[in-house]
Structure 1
Amino acid sequence: MAGSTSRVFVSHLAGVPVFDPNGDQVGRVRDLVAMLRVGHRPPRLLGMVVEVLTRRRIFLPMTRVTGIESGQVITTGVLDVRRFEQRPTERLVLGELLDRRVQLVGSGADGGDTGEEVTVLDVSVRRLPARRDWEIDRVFVRRGKGGALRRKGETMTVGWSAVTGFSLEEDAQGAESLVATFERLRPADLANVMHHLSPKRRAEVAAALDDERLADVLEELPDDDQVEILGKLHQERAADVLEAMDPDDAADLLSELPEEDQERLLTLMRPDDAADVRRLLSYEERTAGGLMTTEPIVLRPDATVADALARVRQEDLPPALAAQVFVCRPPDETPTGRYLGTAHFQRLLREPPYTLVASVVDSDLPPLAPDTPLPAVAGFLAAYNLVTAPVVDEGGSLLGAVTVDDVLDHLLPEDWRETEFEDSVFHEDAAAVRGSGAAGSPGRAER
């Protein structure tokens, strides 16, 4: 390994930035690719899966890695920008090797009792001396039930030859170590990781996430992945996850299911949450009613600017919904009493805290009707430079709010989460990814 580092555990590589020789960042490490070998020979490390700036995943051969130090990877600057596709003989180290149950072989301090089952928490890689090859050499494991002198949960590091079972298919592989490795990822980035896992591994990771985290990730996944994951959850947990999702996203997901499955899950949800989702399902999908969220910030006219700013500061509030508060007569929950207007965040910042929000509302901005079609909604946001628009019914009650991110989600091609960018956009950035002066491509032959 380049520099003074002789060994590094792969969990420390997850998400680290990748730089070219000029110091420009070209992406981040999302996984490592290894090839298992016969007998007890350590697997050869073929390369890294790097997510470049356009969120496309490419293959970076280890022969193009010149250094791993101080939480970063340095490359030669020559990258193959074709999308990474895993081959049948390859294994994703983070995605497939961690959390496996394997057996210790041999005896002694480095091996343990023959046949003892352990769980893989991490593996380390090293560069072979005087060679360009890399290999997995050590395995960090957690023991299960042991002898009288061993405690359950004891951890140890052993050589690769001291374990067996990596080449076997596992029906119920855990995912705790993989989830911990990516715990700092934003939901959209974790969704991208999960999308590239096998369906079996994707279900295992989903099972290991808590309800709130899984809900956030589901909102960022393609429709097919959402339906697949939800279908593999126990129905009670599926209902819990739907409750944790934004109502509009939960409604979008349920709309992909057969009506009998929709009704079954809605019945298992809390009545208040189910009522919001049922209301959203009653609108056409590509209208303001079908796009809106039923949980905007709603305040009464006698609330103060201080009250409004306190609501805006809520940590879990999406930025688009925090850009304004909607002032309405009681009741405060949607559908509200009469809608009076919108108080924008910038205006709130310019007013004394004791000012009533009723005195700073923008009442000239026309609200959207729930049946407003998607193109008109997009035009409304663009015309008035808004990130969120109120949706009001014929009686003047606020039903919800449409945010610009939901509009973009429906305006982009259906497979935009999978393709990230059109090829024309990607190729415009490819030169920057490859680095100046790069010629040729290492291609897949280097594996």
Structure 2
Amino acid sequence: MAAGAPRIFVSHLQGVAVFDPAGDQVGRVRDLVVMLRVGQRPPRLLGLVVELATRRRIFLPMTRVTAIQSGQIITTGVLNVRRFEQRPTERLVFGELLDRRVTLTETGEEVTVLDLSVHQLPARREWEIDRVFVRKGRKGGAFRRAKGEALTVEWTAVTGFSLEEQGQGAESLLATFEQLRPADLANVLHHLSPKRRAEVAAALDDDRLADVLEELPEDDQIEILGKLKEERAADVLEAMDPDDAADLLGELPTDDQERLLSLMQPGDAADMRRLMSYEDRTAGGLMTTEPIVLRPDATVADALARVRNADLSPALAAQVYVCRPPDDTPTGKYLGTVHFQRLLREPPPSLVSSILDNDLQPLDPEADLPAIAGFFATYDMVAAPVVDEAGSLLGAVTVDDVLDHMLPEDWRETEFHLDEEVATDGS
């Protein structure tokens, strides 16, 4: 970046693509690493935390950044791909500095940090934070903060960044990561400190936190759930997919399970207990109890309306299950399945009972993982019904749950093998 270039607010760098000189993307920015300095000297920007396609996070020194322009970052083409490990003298901008409460030195007033700006020093390749965007007003929810005056001040005009922060908010951090998919936000949370992870989890709404919990390693799930108030923990479990919630409940002590189940809606608690009664790696243990269930007199138009539900995963939306009443699992007699593609080929007034696929045998709830995987591979399915001996539909197993249990337990934290130093421009 040329000397004299305008300052850049760090919120504009989150998720920005990083390219080598040949124009090939090597990753995306997930955080910035700074070093606080003594006195009132502005912090030095050491480099960027870049997430590679393999989800490994590496450190990219600013000395290897040749340009920041048009929403992209260009590197020299050589990356050290050792996993990033934060040193004691380093601070993460998104993870630790945003949402802090600091003090204006002139007035002694407490303000909240919403953003920071960085710039490159003239005639050097060194970068530093120069300004702080803050909002006045009492600490509290987003509504309160929106009422306060926002202003940009020099770094030297505030104090408090070097102090241990207690009860740090997370609104600005979450605004920065608002567009991330749940799996990517889960990766962000996994790399935060336990304290910051709990603060971010507390600031997420129940549905968003539920989606993120489903993508986190088991240890992180238990840690986050344990730091929520019990009433909220029960609400979040209800918002999760039933099979994932049951798996998480199953990892808790029996007393904790019972307390949380007693706080849930009776229907949701019954689903949890039913799922927990099956062995983990069986169709009953893997299934969700919330597939799309229709009566025989439902039309193709009814089915398509249900499939359009944005809250459904693609696998669950791939087919509907036709049963005699009741409509909720466990239902009356299972009659067959209608695949999404077949729905698209039929007139909307047609009855789903006239286009059933009832040739395939449904899964038995006691079917083990190899049998389930074999069924999916043989028939090219992404979801399959689970039916008991009485012919009642219990739920459906989706391919993502099968993969979750077939991959190594630590697959969310494992990357492809990489050499520690690579030239990304092919040299």
- TM-score band by shorter chain is over 0.9
Q: Which residue of 2 aligns with 1:295?
A: 290
Structure 2 counterpart of 1:215, which letter?
A
Return structure 1 stretches of 4+ with deviation > 2 angstroms: 1-5
Counterpart Cα distance in 2 of 1:3 and 1:284: 63
Counterpart in 1 of 2:359? 364
State whether residues 2 and 66 of structure 1, in contact with CA within 8 Å, keep that contact through their aligned partners in structure 2: no
1:138/1:160 contact within 8 Å kept: yes
Superposition deviation, residue 152 in structure 1: 5.4
**3-state SS of paired residue (1:102):** strand
Calculate the TM-score normalised by the size of structure 1.
0.92
| Equivalent pair of 1:247/1:293 in contact (CA under 8 Å) | yes
Flag the 1:82–1:22 CA change in 2: closer, same or farther, 3 A: same
1:2 and 1:68 in contact (8 A); partners too: no
Distance 1:201 1:345 in 2: 42
Contact 1:50 1:57 in 2 (8 A): yes
Task: Confirm or deny that 1:286 pairs with 2:276.
Answer: no
Counterpart Cα distance in 1 of 2:37 and 2:6: 22
Q: C-alpha displacement at 1:434, in angstroms?
A: 2.2
Structure 1 portions without partners, runs of 5+? 107-112, 438-447
Question: Contact (CA 8 Å) 1:343, 1:361: kept in 2 or not?
Answer: yes
Partner of 1:385: 380
Runs (5+) with no aligned partner, structure 2:
140-145
Matching of residues 43-192 of structure 1 within 5 Å: 43-106=43-106, 113=107, 115-144=108-137, 153-192=148-187
What corresponds to 2:143 in structure 1?
none
With over 3 angstroms needed to count, the CA separation of the structure-2 counterparts of 1:86 and 1:145, relative to structure 1, is closer
Q: Go from structure 1 to structure 2 and tell me whether the alpha carbon gap of 1:436 and 1:4 turns closer, same or farther (over 3 Å shift).
A: farther
| 3-state SS of 2:78 partner | coil
Distance change in 2, residues 1:214/1:99 (3 Å): same
**Aligned counterpart in structure 2 of residue 342 of structure 1, from 337, 359, 381:** 337
Residue in 2 that maps onto 1:435: 425
Shift of 1:357: 0.9
Name 1:25's counterpart in structure 2: 25
Structure 2 distance, partners of 1:229, 1:165, is: 27
Structure 1 residue 435 displacement after superposition: 2.6
Alpha-carbon distance between aligned partners in 2 of 1:178 and 1:156, rounded to the nearest angstrom:
18
Cα distance in 2 between the residues matched to 1:397 and 1:315:
27
- Does the aligned pair in 1 maintain the 2:318–2:339 contact within 8 Å? yes
Report matched runs for 1:209-288 at 5 Å: 209-288=204-283
Q: CA deviation at 1:2?
A: 3.9
TM-score, structure 2 as length reference: 0.96
**Once the two structures are superposed, what CA deviation does each residue of 1:4-48 show, in whole Å capped at 9, x if it has no partner?**
841111011111111111111111100000000000100000000
What does the per-residue CA deviation read over 1:359-386, in whole Å, with 9 as the maximum and x for residues that have no partner?
Answer: 1111011101101111111111111100
Aligned amino acid, residue 367 of structure 2: T
8 Å CA contact 1:77, 1:434 repeated in 2: yes
- SS of 1:184's equivalent in the other structure is coil
The 1:163/1:278 distance shift into structure 2, 3 A limit, reads same
The answer to whether the Cα contact below 8 Å between 1:7 and 1:126 also exists between their aligned partners in 2 is yes
Paired positions, count: 421
SS in 2 for 1:79: strand
